[in-house]
Chain A
């Protein structure tokens, strides 16, 4: 069973951890920017704790270990508020952790074995913590310290009674793998140096152990050095807990329950067939301390409430706004989109029902109109859901800029504009890497050193502006730096050396020369640095962009910086199209390719000697493509004056399409044809219309060619 469940669990873990890491990175960078660590400490502590918990449960010890020591470090910072601490050092350490986590989680995601242990990093953090502790007040003893101490002389615990507790936990109904979760609790308690007895005892016994935990929760008695608060603190953070009960018990009770556990265990073995047996089991220890229990419960609850409140205040702070988003499998969205499409059809079937119409009932028509409105809204929203703001991708660049500016000793500020611009989910995945390359390049090659900048009269701090904006059906993403700009001569010289030039050097315009930087193997930087200069990267940018139908354009002015503009289609799945019909057939043209539409006048129409029709518009001549002739469609309108002309433009080619009439502008979901359909010149696919019909999507480049 455990094996079957493995995959979704790992997926969930990877997903969750990536989110946490992202959040962590953001928090730390923000805190560094604002030069104020205090508010971030709690957040980082919380994240580290969750990462640790998750990783432990999934048995990713390498990650768990590192998260554990980092958590210790931040717990110290959180509780002791030490002064005179070099936070930039801590920032670096945390960022190193982030990198390590990223690497490891990626490995998990790809099913690769984890090889590296983050020993250096772990040691570094432990040392750091020690040094803080040393610097801090030596008199106060940390709970963590006692915890560590306990771990070391675990052996001596056996007979000594410290604090005794009875703990019962019940997991949420749907949480799955209760036995493994219980096991991880036991494992953690072991680490705390607890003597622990639990029921059911055999957690690996999937059939019985699991069903008992599911039915009545997981019970344990603990003999440990921690006080109740500390235990509460731990248990509250165990995920998927529905019910938690912690009560202090006496030595006598401890021994009683212990023997009870054993008794049930042996009873269970004897009559394991009998389903009722475990039920009677839980009653006994519970009854024993009924009054105590109630008291404790009240205490617990009030404690919990206080803690919840304090958590809330953390959550209310602006830097945890990520919580507003959930991630959804895109396939589910596709399915939803199809279902909504069907809903639209069946709505039409019901409301347009001829028999119903004949009855002519006004109230029904009213309700139907309302329903149609709602369904249309649902449809719009489903289409919108696929769109994701660029903010997350942009935020990630903060980290790149920070790393680069530290390591290149350049002061750089990143300005983000138009973060709210939305693009399709599929596209976002493809622009992250290109952006990273571009920003690295901008800082490494573009921005000068502070001294150099001073000399040329620029502010010492360089600026990189990352901007996104909508432009028709495309999104423009612009990376702008105020650095030294591109050196045309240098680029040409280098390209010449590499044999990349296709014509004499003098004939290259600025634009052509600059676009050479996207060729493979060209880097104008004399020395290769850690980040850029190896001449891969820029061509990788272009290749990645091509995958999503995007292009890159460079503009630059020597001494004044470089602009790289990425032009990317808004979405691959939905286009804004003009729907038009020819006879009974409907066609869609991407609205961005339409110049204008107009009624033709007879005097403007010219026919050449081969019978090709052309039309004169404002002194220019365009060829006329009659869609019905081209595709052999039946229509009653074949007089050019009766139908409508749609002028379309593709790159530099223009032509006029002749169709019956325009129906209107619609957002349509693009579908490719089944392979059963033979390729048609000028038609790139088909799309659902709102009424459940299908229209064909015209491809301007195919039509004009």
Chain B
């Protein structure tokens, strides 16, 4: 709301369009370790608690297996492992975010789901060229919201399984 109030009146029409566009950018944020990540909400089908995962052999280490979601068999991958972070035990806050990209459903195992955040264009900085914990290739941008840093993920690249 604060931002809205300081919009200069003469520029209102132009900026209104921008606000609308910006509002469409809703992101679900989740955490892995101390970092917060965001994925665009339109890719998300469902969030469920951790459940029994059936192991599938001969897969990359981050593919943990499949789950039975309402009769549908959905592969799940552990984002932690995908990002080369140390393995931790699942607890009751561990969640599976089921994402959907062109009829491909995949569950993402994350430490915990935080909130749905409106992220505006102006808050997103370009992908930094340096990298400490996460491979840059999955990042579509970095957002600064209320003094927090949210790493925005590129769902297409995240779901590539090579």
CB 8 Å contact bits of A670-688 with B (1 = contact, 0 = none) = 0101111110110100101
Option from B59, B70, B161 in Cβ contact (under 8 Å) with A342:
B70
B73 A693 Cβ-Cβ under 8 A:
no
Known A-B contacts A677-B66, A680-B57; the reply to A342 vs B71 at CB < 8 A is yes
> In angstroms, how far is the closest chain B Cβ from the Cβ of A94?
47
Q: Which residues of A contact B105 (CB under 8 A)?
A: 674
Which of A339, A673, A677, A683 neighbours the largest number of chain B CB atoms within 10 Å of its CB? A677
For B95, list chain A residues within 8 Å (CB).
Answer: none
Q: State in angstroms the CA–CA spacing of A692 and B68 once bound together.
A: 7
Q: Determine the distance from Cα of A342 to Cα of B70 in the docked complex, in whole angstroms.
A: 6
Nearest chain B CB to A446's CB is how many angstroms away?
A: 48
Q: Are A677 and B71 in contact (CB under 8 A)?
A: no
Q: Which of chain B's residues 48-104 have a Cβ closer than 8 Å to chain A?
A: 52, 54-60, 63, 66-68, 70-75, 77, 104
Nearest chain A CB to B31's CB is how many angstroms away? 24
Asked if A345 is at the interface of the complex by the 8 Å CB criterion, the answer is yes
Measured CA separation A39–B136 after assembly (Å): 80
Q: Distance in Å from the Cβ of A356 to the closest Cβ of chain B? A: 20
A677–B63 CB distance below 8 A? yes
A585 and B55 within 8 A (CB): yes
Interface status of B159 (Cβ within 8 A of chain A): yes
Q: Across the interface, which residues of B come within 8 angstroms of A677, CB to CB?
A: 56, 59, 63, 66, 75
Contacting pair B58 A674 (CB below 8 A):
no
Residue of B nearest to A334 (CB): B71
Residues of chain B with a CB closer than 8 A to A695's CB: 54
Which residues on B sit within 8 Å (CB–CB) of A277? none
Contact between chains at B58 and A680 (CB < 8 Å): yes
A694 at the interface (CB under 8 A from B): yes
Most A CB within 10 A of own CB, among B52, B55, B63, B161: B55
Cα distance A681–B71 in the bound complex, in angstroms: 25
Residue from the set B66, B68, B161 with the largest chain A CB neighbour count within 10 Å: B68
B66 touching A585 by the CB < 8 A rule? no
Instruction: Decide yes or no whether B143 CB sits under 8 A from chain A.
Output: no
Contact B159 A676 (CB under 8 A): yes
B119 at the binding interface (Cβ < 8 Å):
no
B77 (CB) vs chain A CBs: closest residue: A676
Given known contacts A693-B68, A694-B73, A678 and B54 CB-to-CB distance under 8 angstroms: no
Minimum distance in angstroms from B22 CB to a CB of chain A: 32
Decide if B39 is an interface residue (CB 8 Å cutoff).
Answer: no
Q: Which residue of B lies closest to A685 (CB)?
A: B73
Measured between alpha carbons, how far is A694 from B105 in the docked complex, in Å?
A: 17
Q: How large is the interface on A (under 10, 10 to 19, 20 to 34, 35 or more residues)?
A: 20 to 34
Contact A693 B63 (CB under 8 A): no
Which of chain B's residues have a CB closer than 8 A to the CB of A676?
63, 75, 77, 104, 106, 159, 161
- The residue of chain B having its C-beta at the shortest distance from the C-beta of A677 within the complex is B75
**A338 and B104 in contact, given A631-B58, A677-B63, A681-B58 (Cβ under 8 angstroms):** no
Q: Assess the A693–B104 pair: CB atoms within 8 A.
A: no
Distance between B70 CB and nearest chain A CB, rounded to angstroms: 6
| Residues in B whose Cβ lies below 8 Å from that of A683 | 57
Q: CB within 8 A of B68: which of A586, A630, A694?
A: A694
B58, A694: Cβ atoms closer than 8 Å: no
Q: Is A696 an interface residue (CB 8 A)?
A: yes
Min CB–CB distance B162 → chain A (angstroms): 9
Inter-chain contact B63/A585, CB cutoff 8 Å: no
Q: Is A632 an interface residue (CB 8 A)?
A: yes
Within A648-705, the residues touching B (CB, 8 Å) are 671, 673-678, 680-681, 683, 686, 688, 692-696
In the bound assembly, the distance between CA atoms of A694 and B70 in angstroms comes to 12
A674-B71 contact given A631-B57, A680-B56, CB 8 Å threshold: no
Interface bits A363-393 vs B (CB < 8 Å: 1, else 0): 0000000000000000000000000000000
Cβ of B13 to closest chain A Cβ, rounded Å: 38
The chain A residue with its CB closest to the CB of B57 is A631
For A337, what are the chain B residues with a Cβ–Cβ distance below 8 Å? 71
In the complex, A315 has a CB within 8 A of chain B: no
Residues of A within 8 A of B67 (CB): 694
A674 and B102 CA atoms in complex are apart in Å by 12
B98-120 Cβ-contact flags toward A at 8 Å (1 or 0): 00000011100000000000000
Q: In the complex, A633→B104 CA distance in Å?
A: 27
The minimal Cβ–Cβ distance linking B12 to chain A, given in whole angstroms, is 41
Residues of B within 8 A of A692 (CB): 68
- B73 and A338 contact, CB distance less than 8 A: no
Cα distance A633–B55 in the bound complex, in angstroms:
9
Nearest A-chain residue to B74, judged by Cβ: A674
CB-CB under 8 A from B75, the residues of chain A are 673-674, 676-677
| Min distance, Cβ A331 to any Cβ of chain B, angstroms | 13
In the complex, A550 has a CB within 8 A of chain B = no
**A281–B59 Cα gap in the complex (Å)?**
74
> Knowing A337-B71, A345-B68 touch, does A694 contact B54 (C-beta < 8 A)?
yes
Cβ of A278 under 8 Å from chain B: no
CB distance from A589 to the nearest CB of B (A): 16
Tell me whether B68 and A633 are in contact (CB under 8 A). Answer: no
Complex alpha-carbon distance, A308 and B15, angstroms: 73
Report A-chain residues with C-beta under 8 Å of the C-beta of B58.
631-632, 678, 680-681
Give Cα A586 to B74, complex, Å.
Answer: 17
Among B54, B71, B72, B77, which residue has the most Cβ atoms of chain A within 10 A?
B71
Residues of A close to B161: CB separation below 8 A: 676, 678
What are the residues of chain A within 8 A of B66 when measuring CB–CB? Answer: 673-674, 677, 686, 694
Contact: A693 with B59, CB < 8 Å? Answer: no
> In the complex, A338 Cα to B68 Cα: how many Å?
10
What's the Cα separation between A436 and B74 when bound, in Å? Answer: 41
CB of B105, distance to nearest CB on chain A (Å): 7
- B77: chain A residues at CB < 8 Å are 676
CA distance A696 to B159 in the complex (A): 23
A630: chain B residues within 8 A (beta carbon): 57
Question: Can you name 21 A-B pairs with beta carbons within 8 Å?
Answer: A337-B71, A339-B71, A342-B70, A345-B68, A631-B57, A631-B58, A632-B57, A632-B58, A633-B57, A674-B73, A674-B104, A674-B105, A674-B106, A675-B104, A676-B159, A677-B63, A678-B63, A688-B68, A688-B71, A688-B73, A694-B67
With A338-B72, A695-B54 given, can you name 5 additional A-B contacts, CB distance below 8 Å?
A586-B54, A633-B57, A673-B73, A677-B75, A678-B63
Closest 4 A-B residue pairs measured CB to CB?
A: A338-B71, A631-B57, A694-B54, A676-B75
